[in-house]
């Protein structure tokens, strides 16, 4: 599904060069639920941005769904993001002026679907996250957990093959966080590949595989306990 | 004292576009406002000119005779006799044209006879010995016309009398080197070679055309007119004008059925009409200046407010690190002052540029130098006033904001 | 997608109502000021007779003082003498031609109750009506026979027909004017010419006259000269005829020439005419004769008032300030939307999508500003109407074309103002604003 080989990303300002990713290599298979962890500044967000085609990189290769997406144009990357990738953010990133229906509609609008098809998908996605009855509400009228559910509905509505989540529960209390995790697992069960960035080891434990990033490189761990040792040690 | 000039300057340089927009806006605004104020002052000077006559108490009308039974000489003699004995009328005269009314006669006078010599253009008013009092002008030197001097001018024979009274300005333009007293008695030439003697000098009387550069050049000619159409200029005692205008119109219309009385106007209305273009220009430019000032000020308020909002967290951090409210305000005031300064410097150049263009394209004067620094000061002031509100808002951001997210 | 963007634009307007309204206000002010002055200038400089303005030519002959030009630096007088006017009419060298002048006289209505009144008279030749496309309600103009025979005929305006004859067909009836009886041969329809180009010496924005009669009658009836008379030389003889045949100019000469060849032929004719006259002791200056078509003649006479032009330029600069203002405010507004843009980019909006969305948003502001500006322009025009009164007759009304120009100007200028901020909005990186801070 996702294969990165020796991906290198450098941030340049006037004064310094920061190597955010160096020789980053990773493979994620179809249907996997992978959690990416690592300390602040390790490069996990950069990895996520590159995986989601939000950012470009200096060198290396990135194959997504069998296609090389390393050198695509801005337009082509937009199209892939729109059709194959769903995003879930820590801050939900709902548009405050739009009601739930219209928020979920945002990615679909760029898809060129008919109004009736969009409507059907939006309603279905909101149903999946249990908010079908609140289509006309504004995000501000919802709790944080509900808002994140709307964001998940938005990510799901286009039926992406690949879901990227960046600290999806970071702004939620543990009870809500748990229900969001259950939802994600549910989605994964139905075949969607998920890559989730988090710093919470207990959440990471609920994923099928854990990847630890440090200094822009991957150290893959298979056992959660060992991972916990590394973090604590 | 540390005014943070360096850091502010570097911050401005990082957001060049916003700064450039404000500076350009200030520059163009200054260009328009300063030129507009200059034009307004120019027009106000024109509006303030006095025609020399007692405008508040003077009016005029036209009399046009027609038909075979009409006798111009008898009509004029009767009319003038009647008009002059009406209570409330100070004096009246028959004439051809009215000062500042827009239409009249002009001739050229020469100090030496002959077609090859240059003449001085002059407005011609036909009148009689009652003219000086009717026009409310002062005889500075020489004498007034007498009854014996007055002749009748035939409409088809353009003979000029032997004498004239000139305004001081005309005397000066004919004889630049002589004091006006010495111009009395001089002979000048009309129609190239017909001599005419200057018997008197009056202080001031305007020609009919306010746009003419010889506005104050007038000659009074001692003739009554045997024309079909001519005018009466009538001066009343203060406060009598409104009552007398309709009365006199009716009186003249009824006294002779073979003529039409028309175009009756007070000098006050005539001035208003003649100068309407100038006063309209003053009004329009004033509105432009006010609106433009508001637009520019609101623009600055909008942009600074935005930049304050964007820097809320940064300002909170500064406050937490010990910056006083005053320091925060000063930061924005200094920042804006820097940007406005660039604007007014550019504005000064553009103001002069626009003025030069206006001078070349239209009949306008060069701008006086002091308009520029005054304009710069005004724009600085407008800029500081506009930024004061948002700067105060910035100063009221609590230091605790630094530790809060969002 | 357009409707979606329009909805987003309305939402965005509501989100920052003050900032958005400031932009609308700025555009409205700029458009209002510009359209007010553009309207006045447009009407002042409008082509009064677009079908023929290229074929009608004003004739200037330099018959002036050998010692100084009629107008600096070396321009011929702006009118011609009676002698030249009648000679050119006799020569009939143009397709159509009419000399003309303004005169006046007293009208004595038949109806004893109505008082006599003064009126302006346009003296002209029979071609006048065909040359200037004069519209007739009843009858027609007179023919060239009437010019030659000095027939006592008049054409009257619709208003005068209403006043004298109650609006009925008065052709064949008699009207007493300037002490003589005239037969009405034609009644005009409503005829407005803005500017009234055929005689700018008596005011380019004056109304057309109420009476028209053959110009040769001036000589036989000794009609007055109501226009501008300019002389450089004293009439050689006294009396009406002495003055009429003097070197004083008081007549306008118009010719209709259908193409360039005709124009060149007529110019050659004018020069040879001047040479003939020179042989007779007139035209002491070198040949300096001119033919100007309608718009050239309007430009030569500065029919567009300087003040109107100054105000036009100032108001265009005013619009510039308003647009700079709008650019700034749009930048502020769009940078407040970085989060939304970034999210839309992340979920698949292309740069083009983002560009279009914000273009519609600025366009919406432009249209609202344009409509408000149109209102302000109407207000400004009625303000000018109040300030100038009857001096601005016919100069303060907008036609559909001007309304379209106003809206177009608003749209184009707001989109121009929005171009940079919109472009900047497409540069927001998809990932930049997604982390919550």
Residue B379 pLDDT class (50, 70, 90 cuts) = very high
> C-chain residues within 8 Å CB-CB of B260?
106, 115-118
DSSP string over B37-70? HHHHHHHHHHHT---SS-GGGEEEEEEEE-STT-
Domains of chain A by residue range: 2-232
Give the burial string for B27-46 (b: 16+ CB within 10 Å, else e).
bbbbbbbbbbbbbbebbeeb
CB contact under 8 A, C387 and B405: no
Q: Is B295 exposed, middle or buried (0-12, 13-18, 19+ CB in 10 A)?
A: buried
Is residue C214 within 8 Å of C182, Cβ to Cβ?
Answer: no
Q: How far apart are CA B70 and CA A91, in angstroms?
A: 101
Q: Which of B91, B122, B86, B80 is nearest to B224 (CA)?
A: B80
Residue B117 pLDDT class (50, 70, 90 cuts) = confident
Q: Is C50 exposed, middle or buried (0-12, 13-18, 19+ CB in 10 A)?
A: exposed
Instruction: Return the axis-axis angle of helices B325-361 and B5-14, rounded to nearest 10°.
Output: 60
Residue B402 pLDDT class (50, 70, 90 cuts) = low
> A-chain residues within 8 Å CB-CB of C339?
93
Residues 6+ apart with CB under 8 A from C77: C60, C61, C62, C63, C64, C70, C71, C230, C249
Sign of CA dihedral B314, B320, B324, B325: positive
Residues 6+ apart with CB under 8 A from B75: B63, B65, B256, B259
> C-chain residues within 8 Å CB-CB of A55?
429-431
Say yes or no: B142 and B223 in one domain.
yes
The CA-CA-CA angle for residues C5, C6, C11, to 5°, reads 95
Mean pLDDT of chain B: 90
Partners of C182 in beta bridges: C175
The CA-CA-CA angle for residues B7, B12, B13, to 5°, reads 95
pLDDT of residue B403: 66
Residue B299 placed within a domain: yes
> A-chain residues within 8 Å CB-CB of C343?
93, 95, 106
Strands (E), C109-235: 117-124, 136-139, 153-156, 174-177, 180-188, 211-214
Among C22, C320, C328, the residue with its CB nearest the CB of B22 is: C328
CB contact under 8 A, C350 and A79: yes
C111 vs B: CB within 8 A: no
Q: Which of C99, C119, C101, C123 is nearest to C175 (CA)?
A: C119
Residue C112 pLDDT class (50, 70, 90 cuts) = low
Say yes or no: B138 and B173 in one domain.
yes
Lowest mean pLDDT among B265-279, C61-75, C242-256: C61-75
CB contact under 8 A, C346 and A87: yes
Partners of C59 in beta bridges: C291
CB contact under 8 A, C387 and B276: yes
Say yes or no: B176 and B226 in one domain.
yes
* Nearest Cα residue in chain C from B253: C115
Structural fold of domain A2-232: Rossmann fold (3.40.50)
pLDDT of residue A220: 63
User: What Rg do the C-alpha atoms of chain A give, in angstroms?
Assistant: 18
Residue B60 placed within a domain: no
pLDDT of residue B247: 95
CB contact under 8 A, A110 and C353: yes
DSSP string over C245-266? TSS-EEEEEEEE--SHHHHHHH
pLDDT of residue C433: 67
Q: How far apart are CA C144 and CA C252, in angstroms?
A: 18
Least Cα separation, residue C11 to chain A (angstroms)? 7
Say yes or no: B332 and B394 in one domain.
yes
Residues 6+ apart with CB under 8 A from C228: C79, C201, C202, C250
Residue B2 pLDDT class (50, 70, 90 cuts) = low
**Helix, coil or strand: residue C393:** coil
**Helix, coil or strand: residue B265:** strand
pLDDT of residue B314: 84
The ipTM is 0.87
Q: How far apart are CA A184 and CA A129, in angstroms?
A: 10
CB contact under 8 A, B39 and C310: yes
Sheet with A17-28: strands ordered across: A17-28, A2-12, A59-64, A67-68
Give tens-digit pLDDT for B180-214: 999 999 999 998 889 999 999 999 999 999 988 89
Looking at per-residue pLDDT, the higher value among B270 and B3 belongs to B270
Phi and psi, residue C183, nearest 5°? -95, 130
Q: How far apart are CA B42 and CA C256, in angstroms?
A: 44
Say yes or no: B41 and B136 in one domain.
no
| Residues 63-122 of chain B whose Cβ lies under 8 A from any Cβ of chain C | 64, 66-68, 115-116
B350: containing domain = 5-48+276-403
Say yes or no: B29 and B95 in one domain.
no
Give tens-digit pLDDT for C341-384: 999 999 989 999 999 999 999 999 999 999 999 999 999 999 98
Q: Which helix (H) or strand (E) holds C195?
A: none
The answer on pLDDT for C303 being more than 90 is no
Mean pLDDT of chain C: 90
Q: How far apart are CA C308 and CA C346, in angstroms?
A: 53
Residue B264 placed within a domain: no
Is residue B30 within 8 Å of B344, Cβ to Cβ?
Answer: yes
Say yes or no: B14 and B127 in one domain.
no
pLDDT of residue C379: 92
Q: How far apart are CA C315 and CA C19, in angstroms?
A: 23
Q: How far apart are CA C199 and CA B161, in angstroms?
A: 34
Instruction: Return the axis-axis angle of helices C351-388 and C338-346, rounded to nearest 10°.
Output: 140
Percent of chain C residues past pLDDT 70, beyond the cut: 98
Looking at per-residue pLDDT, the higher value among B8 and C97 belongs to C97
* Nearest Cα residue in chain A from C427: A74
Last residue of a domain, one of B230, B257, B284: B257
Give tens-digit pLDDT for B299-323: 888 888 888 888 888 888 888 888 8
Tens place of pLDDT for every residue, chain A, 233 residues? 899 999 998 887 777 778 788 889 999 999 999 999 888 888 888 898 899 998 889 899 999 988 999 889 989 999 999 999 999 988 888 988 899 999 999 999 998 899 999 999 999 999 989 999 999 999 999 988 899 999 999 998 988 999 999 888 888 888 888 888 999 999 999 899 999 998 888 888 888 888 888 888 887 654 444 444 444 33
Provide the H-helix boundaries in B235-364. Answer: 241-255, 267-274, 276-310, 312-320, 325-361
Is residue B88 within 8 Å of B244, Cβ to Cβ?
Answer: yes
**Helix, coil or strand: residue C153:** strand
The answer on pLDDT for C61 being more than 90 is yes
**Long-range CB contacts (within 8 A, 24+) of A52-56:** A52/A81, A52/A85, A52/A87, A52/A164, A52/C346, A52/C431, A53/A77, A53/A80, A53/A81, A53/A85, A54/A81, A54/C345, A54/C346, A54/C429, A54/C430, A54/C431, A54/C434, A55/A9, A55/C429, A55/C430, A55/C431
Q: How far apart are CA C53 and CA C45, in angstroms?
A: 13
Is residue C102 within 8 Å of C122, Cβ to Cβ?
Answer: yes
Q: How far apart are CA A45 and CA C345, in angstroms?
A: 17
Looking at per-residue pLDDT, the higher value among A18 and B332 belongs to B332
Cα Dmax for chain B? 105
Residue B270 placed within a domain: no
Domains of chain C by residue range: 2-45+305-426, 56-300
Residue B334 placed within a domain: yes
Partners of B93 in beta bridges: B233
Say yes or no: B306 and B383 in one domain.
yes
Least Cα separation, residue A99 to chain C (angstroms)? 11
DSSP string over C21-61? HHHHHHHHHHHHHHHHHHHHHHHHTS-SSTTTTTTEEEEE-
pLDDT of residue B327: 87
Give tens-digit pLDDT for C282-294: 999 999 999 999 9
* Nearest Cα residue in chain C from A49: C431
pLDDT of residue C24: 92
> C-chain residues within 8 Å CB-CB of A163?
none
The answer on pLDDT for C267 being more than 60 is yes
How many structural domains compose chain B? 2
Residues 6+ apart with CB under 8 A from B9: B338
Partners of A162 in beta bridges: A85, A193
**Helix, coil or strand: residue A79:** helix
The answer on pLDDT for C158 being more than 60 is yes
Residue C435 pLDDT class (50, 70, 90 cuts) = low
DSSP string over B111-169? SS-STTS--EEEEEEEE-TTHHHHHT--EEEE----GGG-EEEPSS-----SEEEEEHH
Chain A partners (3+ C-beta pairs within 8 A): C
């Amino acid at each position: 599904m996702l294969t990165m080989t020796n991906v290198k990303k450098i941030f340049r300002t006037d004064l310094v060069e920061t190597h955010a990713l160096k020789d980053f290599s990773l493979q994620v298979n179809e249907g996997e639920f992978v959690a990416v962890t690592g300390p602040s500044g390790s490069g996990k967000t950069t990895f996520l941005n590159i995986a989601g085609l939000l950012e470009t990189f200096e060198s290396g290769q990135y194959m997504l769904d069998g296609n090389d997406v390393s050198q695509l144009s801005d337009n082509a990357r937009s199209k892939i993001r729109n059709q194959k990738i769903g995003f879930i953010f820590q801050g939900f990133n709902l548009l405050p002026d739009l009601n739930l229906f219209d928020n979920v509609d945002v990615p679909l609008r760029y898809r060129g679907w008919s109004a009736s098809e969009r409507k059907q998908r939006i309603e279905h996605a909101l149903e999946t996250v249990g908010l079908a009855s609140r289509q006309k509400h504004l995000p501000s009228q919802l709790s944080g957990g509900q808002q994140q559910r709307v964001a998940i509905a938005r990510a799901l509505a286009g039926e992406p093959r690949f879901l990227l989540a960046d600290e999806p529960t970071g702004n939620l209390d543990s009870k809500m966080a748990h229900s969001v995790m259950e939802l994600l697992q549910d989605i994964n069960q139905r075949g969607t590949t998920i890559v989730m960035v988090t710093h919470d080891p207990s959440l990471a434990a609920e994923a099928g595989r854990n990847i630890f990033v440090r200094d822009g490189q991957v150290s893959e761990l298979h056992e959660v306990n060992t991972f916990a040792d590394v973090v604590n040690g | 004292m540390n005014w943070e000039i360096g850091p502010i300057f570097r911050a401005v340089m990082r957001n060049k576009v916003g700064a450039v927009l404000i500076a350009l806006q200030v520059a163009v605004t200054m260009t328009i406002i300063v030129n507009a104020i200059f034009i307004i002052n120019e027009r106000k000077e024109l509006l303030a000119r006095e025609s020399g006559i007692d405008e508040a108490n003077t009016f005029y009308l036209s009399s046009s005779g027609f038909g075979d039974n009409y006798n111009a000489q008898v009509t004029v003699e009767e009319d003038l006799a009647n008009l002059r004995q009406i209570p409330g009328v100070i004096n009246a005269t028959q004439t051809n044209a009215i000062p500042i009314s827009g239409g009249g006669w002009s001739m050229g006078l020469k100090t030496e006879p002959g077609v090859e010599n240059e003449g001085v253009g002059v407005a011609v008013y036909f009148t009689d010995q009652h003219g000086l009092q009717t026009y409310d002008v002062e005889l500075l030197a020489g004498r007034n016309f007498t009854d014996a001097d007055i002749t009748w001018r035939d409409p088809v024979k353009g003979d000029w009398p032997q004498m004239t009274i000139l305004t001081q300005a005309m005397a000066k333009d004919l004889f630049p080197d002589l004091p006006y007293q010495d111009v009395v008695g001089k002979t000048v030439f009309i129609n190239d070679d017909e001599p005419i003697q200057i018997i008197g000098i009056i202080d001031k009387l305007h020609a009919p055309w306010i746009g003419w550069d010889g506005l104050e050049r007038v000659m009074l000619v001692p003739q009554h007119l045997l024309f079909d159409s001519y005018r009466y200029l009538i001066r009343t005692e203060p406060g009598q004008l409104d009552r007398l205008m309709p009365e006199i119109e009716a009186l003249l219309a009824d006294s002779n059925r073979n003529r039409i009385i028309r175009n009756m106007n007070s000098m006050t209305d005539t001035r208003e009409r003649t100068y309407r273009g100038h006063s309209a220009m003053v009004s329009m430019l004033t509105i432009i200046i006010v609106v433009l000032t508001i637009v520019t000020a609101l623009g600055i308020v909008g942009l600074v407010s935005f930049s304050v909002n964007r820097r809320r967290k940064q300002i909170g951090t500064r406050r937490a690190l010990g910056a006083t409210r005053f320091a925060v305000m000063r930061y924005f005031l200094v920042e804006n002052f820097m940007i406005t300064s660039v604007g007014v410097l550019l504005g000064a150049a553009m103001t002069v540029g626009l003025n030069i263009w206006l001078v070349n394209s239209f009949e306008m004067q060069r701008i006086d130098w002091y308009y520029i620094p005054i304009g710069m000061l005004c724009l600085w002031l407008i800029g500081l006033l506009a930024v004061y509100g948002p700067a105060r808002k910035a100063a009221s951001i609590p230091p605790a904001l630094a530790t809060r997210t969002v | 997608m357009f409707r979606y963007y329009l909805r987003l634009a309305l939402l965005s307007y509501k989100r920052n109502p003050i900032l958005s309204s400031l932009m609308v206000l700025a555009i409205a002010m700029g458009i209002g000021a510009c359209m007010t002055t553009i309207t006045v200038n447009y009407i002042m400089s409008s082509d009064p007779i677009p079908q023929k303005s290229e074929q009608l030519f004003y004739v200037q002959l330099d018959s002036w003082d050998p010692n100084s030009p009629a107008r600096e630096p070396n321009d011929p007088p702006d009118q011609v003498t009676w002698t030249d006017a009648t000679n050119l009419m006799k020569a009939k060298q143009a397709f159509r031609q009419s000399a003309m002048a303004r005169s006046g006289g007293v009208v004595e209505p038949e109806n004893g109750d109505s008082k006599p009144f003064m009126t302006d008279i346009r003296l002209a030749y029979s071609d006048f009506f065909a040359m200037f496309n004069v519209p007739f309600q009843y009858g027609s103009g007179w023919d060239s026979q009437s010019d030659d025979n000095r027939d006592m005929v008049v054409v009257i305006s619709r208003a005068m027909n209403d006043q004298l004859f109650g609006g009925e067909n008065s052709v064949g009836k008699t009207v007493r004017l300037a002490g003589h009886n005239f037969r009405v041969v034609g009644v005009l329809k409503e005829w407005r010419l803005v500017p009234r180009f055929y005689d700018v010496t008596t005011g380019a924005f004056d109304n057309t006259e109420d009476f028209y009669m053959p110009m040769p009658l001036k000589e036989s009836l000794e009609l007055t000269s109501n226009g501008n008379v300019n002389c450089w030389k004293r009439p050689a003889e006294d009396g009406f005829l002495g003055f009429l045949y003097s070197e004083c100019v008081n007549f306008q000469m118009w010719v209709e020439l259908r193409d360039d060849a005709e124009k060149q032929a007529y110019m050659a004719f004018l020069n040879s005419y001047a040479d003939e006259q020179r042989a007779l002791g007139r035209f002491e200056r070198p040949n300096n004769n001119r033919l100007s078509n309608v718009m050239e003649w309007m430009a030569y006479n500065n029919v567009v008032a300087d003040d109107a032009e100054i105000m036009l330029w100032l108001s265009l600069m005013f619009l510039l300030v308003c647009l700079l203002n709008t650019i700034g405010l749009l930048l502020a507004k769009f940078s407040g939307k970085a989060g939304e843009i970034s999210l839309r980019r992340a979920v698949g909006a292309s740069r083009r999508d983002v560009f279009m969305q914000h273009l519609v948003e600025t366009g919406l502001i432009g249209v609202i500003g344009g409509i408000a500006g149109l209102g302000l322009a109407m207000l400004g025009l009625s303000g000018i109407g109040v300030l100038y009164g009857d001096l601005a007759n016919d100069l303060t009304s907008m036609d559909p074309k001007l309304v379209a120009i106003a809206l177009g100007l608003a749209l184009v200028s707001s989109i121009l103002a929005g171009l940079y901020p919109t472009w900047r909005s497409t540069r927001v990186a998809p990932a930049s604003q997604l982390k919550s801070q």
